[in-house]
Structure 1
Amino acid sequence: MSWLGILLVGFAVTDLTHSVRRTRYLPECVGALTVLVVGALAGLTSGRDVVALLVVAVVVLLWGLTVTWGFGHPGPKPARVPLAVFVVALTTAIACSGLAPDASGLLERWLDSVQLPALEDMEADRFLLLLGAFAVQLATGNVLVRLVLKSTGTINPRADGQMPPTQLKGGRLLGPLERVFILALALGGQVTAASVVVAAKGLLRFPELSSRDEQQTVHEMTEYFLLGSFASWLVALGAFVLLV
């Protein structure tokens, strides 16, 4: 599973870099470089591993470029291209996971030396997959949700002027926090607690979705909220499935 973990790390670093510094071509280049560096630290230096890492780096470059292109062009169809890249890359990495060797190198030696109970006796492969799964919940999760909304033509009534803009600005932070929280609870065996978080989100948004003053656009806001929420939860649940 080492190749899969590194692929997820590459996606995550690309999108995190883009969220911090939106310089053209920089995010995907940083993500691709991270793939090569992490691969070297994980001891993936054989001929087959080098080829695999180069392929992963190219995929990460393609992901960054298609995401920028998808958001930069109007209409739903452009957003489907990066979604297809993500799904095909993830599916291929899972299918080829049996060919990937066990990670070792400096990463394994560091894990053996670190004095954290959570990392005690953890294999390097497992660490890479955990790192990638949790990292994807951050900026990449937001990107995937936005791509799903754009590819389906689901608009935010607040963004197109149909509803007054909200004063709350924490949505892009709350989404990652929610996904990380759900994934951590699920991995800890607290699936019921994770479902409570999901239910609580709906209850907290109920007053806004049922406002009589905005009945003309409530159905659009409801669709936007439901589709975005389910897409966000699927990112966390998909990572959970990979880790169990």
Structure 2
Amino acid sequence: MIAAGLLLLAVGAVDLLRQMVRTRRWLAFTLAAVALVVVSAGLDAVIAGLLAVAVAAIWTWVMPERGPARAGLWPVALLGLTAAACVVIARGRPRPGPLGELWATYRPTDTVSVDVILLVIGCLVFLLESGNAVVRIALRSEMGEREAVQTPPSDAAGSPSVADGAANAPRRADDPPADALRAADRPRRARSDALPAPTEPGDPVSTPSPVLKGGRLIGPLERILVFVLTLAGAYTLIAAVFAAKGIVRFPEISADGRSGNRAEYFLIGSLVSWVSALAAAFLVWWGVNAG
């Protein structure tokens, strides 16, 4: 169990540092790795701490901050399976290392070991920013697949224009030259580029409104709330949270028109975020009952 906590703590700390630190990241990463190894030594789990640092380094490579992920959601699935295996194989210890002895002296209850506490902390840190990264990768993967299927190639990529299609068609004696067709097509292209993009029926045509960045804060708060309520067994409140989010987003989704992009975007992001929180809570529940 201690290995799962250190693993999630290392990955979550790396994503938090990537979000908060913009310069001299190597120094922040080094200090964080040293601190994690020191904590693992105090818990008599140095090997698990070193493995957690190695996994966090691999995570930064396969889960970039921007652009598509190199391996999609496979690293997330492997991380979850590894954490679950650590909980099953290495169960909680009553007095692990000096920090475990200190916790055993001052803990309020005998049923919660320091391994469980570290697992909870690791899950909370992971849900803060790594949960956002998982949601972003899921949305980027979905949008990338949709663009590959639905988006036609542009003129710059070599798609034939009106004039090119006319030039490649069988010519007759009274047809105008191909150069004349291309010259006549240029003003049409310029006029079409200057016009605003067509909208769905019923969609308001106005200047684009500013996009708020509250999702970066709402997402972690929502995941932590679902995580805590699940561990507390307050399933009715969890259902209320899910319903409240749907009600708040309903006006935006209902204005989506016939495309359904916003609704699908909302569903994918929300489901991935909720599954992450529920999986973390189940991992802690499993560790407590297995220990």
TM beyond 0.5: yes
Verify: 1:223 aligned to 2:219, yes or no: no
Counterpart-to-counterpart distance in 2, 1:15 and 1:144: 11
Report the equivalent of 2:63.
67
One-letter code of the match for 2:214? G
Report the equivalent of 1:176.
220
> Matches of residues 26-105 of structure 1 in structure 2 within 5 Å?
28-45=29-46, 50=47, 52-68=48-64, 71-73=65-67, 78-79=68-69, 81=71, 83-100=73-90, 102=93, 104-105=96-97
Counterpart-to-counterpart distance in 1, 2:73 and 2:31: 20
Contact 2:62 2:70 in 1 (8 A): no
The Cα shift of 1:215 comes to 2.2
Q: What is the TM-score of this pair, normalised by structure 1?
A: 0.79
Where 1:146 maps in the other structure, the secondary structure is: helix
Distance 1:185 1:97, change over 3 A: closer
Report the equivalent of 2:163.
none
Counterpart-to-counterpart distance in 1, 2:243 and 2:32: 35
The number of equivalent residue pairs is 223
Report the equivalent of 2:254.
210
One-letter code of the match for 2:63? V
Counterpart-to-counterpart distance in 2, 1:141 and 1:18: 14
Counterpart-to-counterpart distance in 1, 2:27 and 2:9: 16
Distance 1:99 1:190, change over 3 A: closer
Counterpart-to-counterpart distance in 1, 2:5 and 2:215: 27
Distance 1:138 1:131, change over 3 A: same
Residue number among 120, 130, 136 corresponding to 1:140 in the alignment:
130
The Cα shift of 1:41 comes to 2.2
Query: What's the CA shift string for 1:41-95, capped at 9, x where partnerless?
Result: 21224xxxx2x43222111101012222xx444xxxx425263223223313422
Q: What is the TM-score of this pair, normalised by structure 2?
A: 0.68
Counterpart-to-counterpart distance in 1, 2:56 and 2:32: 6
Contact 2:63 2:70 in 1 (8 A): no
Distance 1:235 1:34, change over 3 A: farther
The Cα shift of 1:138 comes to 0.5
Q: Which runs of 5+ in 2 are unaligned?
A: 146-196, 200-206, 286-291
The Cα shift of 1:99 comes to 4.4
One-letter code of the match for 2:71? V
Contact 2:230 2:281 in 1 (8 A): yes
Percentage of identical aligned residues: 35
Query: What's the CA shift string for 1:209-237, capped at 9, x where partnerless?
Result: 112xx5265x1111111100000001100
